[in-house]
Amino acid sequence: MRYSVIYEDIGQKDYKETWDYQADIFNRLVENKKPLTGVGESVQNILPGTLIFVEHPHVYTLGKNGSEKNLLLDLIQLKAKDASFYRIDRGGDITYHGPGQIVGYPIFDLELLKIGLKEYIYRLEEAIIRTVDEFGLTASRLEGGTGVWLDPEVPGKARKICAIGVKASRYITMHGFAFNVNTDLTYFNNINPCGFTDKGVTSLQKELGVSQDFESVKRKVKKNLQGVFDLNWIKE
């Protein structure tokens, strides 16, 4: 059975606002999963998932197990670069979000999808790998790391094009992926991306030598997410 999902492209939005928004949806789905104990209570409704696409202003986020040492700026330098910083409740280390980057927040019920967290991350990666392939580039996974990479096993050449960091509770997911399309990659110089000091980052624009049609890339990512998860788009 296909998994029903509401798709929301909310354009450019502040990171904290978006975090609060997805947390509200996440909490509603988690609450819906709690066992019913009252006499005569009806069976819970099956709530649809939500997929949010957003573009953030400059912001650095650090996962719950990450090290602040991987942020190479102090607060004054952050302000000078018009960037903000948040320690958040996802897995993974530090990453950057900014204009020209597709950030996707799937708030999905893995129990309804009948998959575990490892398979969920694998499928997120697969959707981006398929998208990158449509541009004539070969992307793949890095052994021992998450995300989508180009030349992951080539010393000195491995570069990440999409970061992934998620949270899950009662099989409900939040946070997600950040896919570099026309991203200003100089902002990554201020961190050790995902904790790595020996690997680079890249974007579609850098690899192809020309700025990409952002909306067109979004449509491809959405299509490939639909394919790997067998999603049914619905309206609220």
Catalytic residues: 194
Element (H, E) at 218: helix 214-229
Tokens of 164: 């992934």
Q: What residues does 71 pair with on adjacent strands?
A: 191
Report how far apart the first and last C-alpha atoms of the chain are (Å, whole number): 20
Closest CA to 19 of 48, 49, 54, 66: 54
Closest CA to 160 of 116, 195, 117: 195
CB-CB neighbours of 72 under 10 Å: 12
For the CA atoms of the chain, what is the radius of gyration? 18
Closest CA to 96 of 131, 56, 148: 56
What are the Cα distances from residue 64, in Å, to 15, 25, 59, 165, 187? 17, 21, 16, 10, 21
